[in-house]
Amino acid sequence: MNLKSLFSRKSSSAFSGDKKQQVLISVFVIVVVITLIFLYYNFWRSPSLDPSVLLPGADQNVRLEKVIEKVNFDVEFLKTTHFQDLKLYGEWPLEIPDKGRPNPFLYGN
């Protein structure tokens, strides 16, 4: 075994240097494309809205009323025994007593 054969450019691996580089570039491009698709669908794309709710020429109050009509908020949970058994601890708004001195840098008093 001579020194020249140990440090020759040809490797005994399955891929040559150029082939490895092509595979790595392909994997990198695929990862970048998948990342961009993920970012587009989760952050950059605006959510689809019902066109009957937000009309550009409609009055603001009319649009707001249509949005409120579409919201279905069930208040039946307020009548359940679990909610009725909740206890109020303390009074609201909370009274916070004054602490410390008016001038903390004054020595003494």
Length of the chain, in residues = 109
DSSP-derived secondary structure letter, 44:
I
Question: For the chain, what is the mean pLDDT?
Answer: 76
Q: How many other β-carbons are positioned within 10 Å of the β-carbon of residue 63?
A: 15
Whole-model pTM? 0.33
Cα 25 to Cα 31: distance, rounded to the nearest angstrom: 10
* 3-state SS assignment for residue 78: helix
- pLDDT tens digits for range 50-91: 555 455 555 556 667 777 777 777 888 888 999 889 888 888
| Higher pLDDT, residue 57 or 32 | 32
Dihedral angle sign, alpha carbons of residues 105, 107, 108, 109: negative
In the chain, what are the domain boundaries? 13-73
The set of residues, in sequence order, having a beta carbon less than 8 Å from that of 15 and lying 6+ positions away, is 23
